[in-house]
Structure 1
Amino acid sequence: MAAKEGEYMNMRTIKTLIVTLSMIMLLPGCWDTKDINKQYLPVVMGVGKGKTEKYRIILQIPDASGKTQILDKEAKSISKAIDLIRTDSEKSIELVHLRLLLIDRKVAEKGIDNIIDFAVRANDISIKGLVAVIDGDFEKTMYHQISPTPEISSYDFFSQDAGWTPNQSIVRIWEAYQNQNSYTEDMAIPMLKNGDRTLFTFKGTAVMREDRMVGTLNQEETLLFNLFKGKYSGGTIEVAQNTSVLIQDAKTKHRTQWSEKGPSIQTDVTLDVVITESPEGKGNAVIEKEMKEQLSSQFNETVRKIHSLKSDVLGIGMIFRPKMSEGKLKEWKTKWFPKLEQKINVRVNVLNEIYFKENANDNESQGQMLKK
């Protein structure tokens, strides 16, 4: 009997030791945890040209009260500048919440491949972060602040769920990396400067050729760019004689051809719009005709401007990609894109019906269609 009790006690002791050792082995998994109160979590990084070094890095760090702390250093590399900021900071710097990468125009005109490569390779930076170019005073824009507003962040101005409109282009870090290494597409980056009563004022779009900024599109041209790309939600177009319309839907259809002269493409853009402002007595047919003529002219003028910059920001090469051999793919930007013939035709449908909800609790009849 005593032997059995001793054996039972030994088994119990062994089980206790196993459980204890298992818990001890799990403890090292938390050895590097850090108190969030001991960390700085920047949401915006500015990359500019330093006065004495190659790069100037400015980090914006918001706090719970809505105020923003600024940390600023210069170095020969981005990594070194961030390391210097960490050295002088009383808290650790973690870039896991970085949402917006702002690049000075002077730097963008010389090339941003090193900056984008750094952002992609850094383990603690999300490639879903947004990229923009500062067209103005770099320091003034990065240090610009408005009244403390805890509910507003800098990257909200680029969010399609917040302040974004089709008058602004939008590009993420992974898209910038993909486009600067693509044979068949270049990138368009939003441009901004500090606002008066807002954080930013949008200036248009920076047109890139590979990794260098070669030109710009204004806000109206940016809207057309987004329409071509299928990003139209909430876009408003002003037509002649005090008429404005809201875009409800946009569809594009491409017809391509490759002859001995080179590639050619015709694009039909069909817009479904709702009139928001119009002089009394002006019919839908007149508005449709005015919009068709105006937008077709503006579209083709914008296309000619983009071609003169030798930049395929519209991604025409992606449309022709299935028809090209590997050799033609590599020559697209240098040989075939300059030979491209492109024309855009616009069709406009004015929607003359609006849906009104009658009774949200009525499953059989949710409303009725009423003529304007």
Structure 2
Amino acid sequence: MSLRVLNTLIVAALMGILLTGCWDTKDINKQYLPVVMGVGKGDTEKYRIILQIPDASGKTQILDKEAKSISKAIDLIRTDSEKSIELVHLRLLLIDKQIASQGIENLINFAVRANDISIKGLVAVIDGSFEKTMYHQISPTPEISSYDYFSEDAGWTPNQSIVRIWEAYQSLNSYSEDMAIPMLKNGERTLFTFKGTAIMREDRLVGTLNNEETLLFNLFKGKYTGGTIEVAQNTSVLIDNAKIRHNASWNGNRPLLQTEIKLNVLITESPEGKPNSRIEKELREQLSGQFNETAKKIRALGSDVLGVGMLFRPELSEKQLKDWKSKWYPKLEQEIDVKINVLNEIYFKENVTEQGERGRMLKKEAE
């Protein structure tokens, strides 16, 4: 066999190998790409699965089935669909509150093990009518998607908690931290209305935080960008920066945690003549009280969504770590102290200094 013929055969074989990668390519026009999956309790079966599929015009198609398992319900949807169902673009997993109260471990494990579901997808709990929320639509707006409400570049604010599938899975398998899941229902003029945060103990919903408590929760976790706090007498401030310092220690067999939160804030609204020192005092007293009450409420639910156990983890033995939520966390003594620094006064002084210096220079030039 000549060298030329041998080279031709090698090139042909390589081209054949490369072409095999295209044989299973699917036409996108023959696929449904859901971005939201709702998991609720069925009327006759254990699960009801609802998929939301947007199109280019901004409208949403709804596919709905019930079955004894999540995977079976999705298979039934695929069976009746005129196009293939691909979950690779799934961005939001909505769980009915009733399901969340019974336990979501099976659901999260399914989402993680499914080869075609991204673990970066977001998780939320529906607090209201599951069907009404899943079927709710507003005027077609192609540029707006349901998951934009959880995007820090779009509709998210610190009054809303946020958790992804991989974070939920991590919390389910953690000895020292529980998860907090955003709660929502269908809106009137908007797609969603946020109701607060679902507090989970292991895989079950045990309580809730309202929007103001959720802001404190996010602030404790370092997520505060864009957070606005109302103070007494028509005063509002915007959080510019936050520094959080924890001091974890033990008093005999009781864990102690002292947390200091330093906030730099900007006054966005205030009655004329109200001094900054008074705003700082009111805000410090208000936030210190609210933080401690919220932390107390969370401890009473037996849920460590603040991740306090993570702060003590380096000092815990393997046995103590496994017993953290059941034995040590209920004994926790926690104190949160808030310090406030109003930045408006600093900026004002800097501006006055710059203007005064400029004025003196102009006066000297005129002379």
**How would you bin the TM-score normalised by the shorter chain?**
over 0.9
User: Where does residue 358 of structure 2 map in the other structure?
Assistant: none
Amino acid in the other structure paired with 1:231: K
User: Where does residue 324 of structure 1 map in the other structure?
Assistant: 316
Kept in 2: contact 1:263–1:341 (CA 8 A): yes
Shift of residue 369, structure 1, vs aligned partner? 4.6
- 3-state SS, counterpart of residue 127 of structure 1: coil
* Distance in 2 separating the partners of 1:261 and 1:95: 49
Kept in 2: contact 1:354–1:371 (CA 8 A): no
Q: How many residues align?
A: 353
Note if 1:46 corresponds to 2:27.
no
Kept in 1: contact 2:276–2:345 (CA 8 A): no
Shift of residue 354, structure 1, vs aligned partner? 7.7
User: Where does residue 231 of structure 1 map in the other structure?
Assistant: 223
Kept in 2: contact 1:352–1:371 (CA 8 A): no
1:1-372 to structure 2, matched below 5 A, reads: 10-352=2-344, 369-371=350-352
- 3-state SS, counterpart of residue 303 of structure 2: coil
Kept in 2: contact 1:49–1:104 (CA 8 A): yes
- 3-state SS, counterpart of residue 30 of structure 1: coil
Shift of residue 17, structure 1, vs aligned partner? 2.3
Amino acid in the other structure paired with 1:207: I
Gaps of 5+ in 1: 1-6, 357-367
Shift of residue 168, structure 1, vs aligned partner? 0.2
* Distance in 1 separating the partners of 2:214 and 2:78: 38
Amino acid in the other structure paired with 2:104: I
Distance 1:226 1:371, change over 3 A: farther
For residues 243-283 of structure 1, what are the alpha-carbon distances to aligned partners after superposition, in whole Å with 9 as ceiling and x for unaligned? 00000001111112112241011101110000000000001
Amino acid in the other structure paired with 2:217: F
Kept in 2: contact 1:243–1:279 (CA 8 A): yes
Amino acid in the other structure paired with 2:121: G
For residues 106-160 of structure 1, what are the alpha-carbon distances to aligned partners after superposition, in whole Å with 9 as ceiling and x for unaligned? 0000000000000000011110000000000000000000000000000000001
Shift of residue 11, structure 1, vs aligned partner? 2.9
Distance 1:298 1:88, change over 3 A: same
Amino acid in the other structure paired with 2:51: L
Amino acid in the other structure paired with 1:105: K
Shift of residue 353, structure 1, vs aligned partner? 5.5
Kept in 2: contact 1:353–1:371 (CA 8 A): no
Shift of residue 319, structure 1, vs aligned partner? 0.4
User: Where does residue 364 of structure 1 map in the other structure?
Assistant: none
* Distance in 2 separating the partners of 1:353 and 1:370: 10
* Distance in 2 separating the partners of 1:72 and 1:303: 40
For residues 61-117 of structure 1, what are the alpha-carbon distances to aligned partners after superposition, in whole Å with 9 as ceiling and x for unaligned? 000010000000001111000000000000000000000000000000000000000
Identity of aligned residues (%): 78
- 3-state SS, counterpart of residue 245 of structure 1: strand
* Distance in 2 separating the partners of 1:98 and 1:32: 21
Kept in 2: contact 1:271–1:347 (CA 8 A): yes
User: Where does residue 359 of structure 1 map in the other structure?
Assistant: none
Distance 1:349 1:40, change over 3 A: same
CA RMSD of aligned residues (A): 1.5
* Distance in 2 separating the partners of 1:371 and 1:174: 51
- 3-state SS, counterpart of residue 256 of structure 1: strand
Kept in 1: contact 2:238–2:268 (CA 8 A): yes
Shift of residue 186, structure 1, vs aligned partner? 0.4
Residue range with higher mean Cα deviation, 176-185 or 22-31: 22-31
User: Where does residue 359 of structure 2 map in the other structure?
Assistant: none
* Distance in 2 separating the partners of 1:155 and 1:309: 29
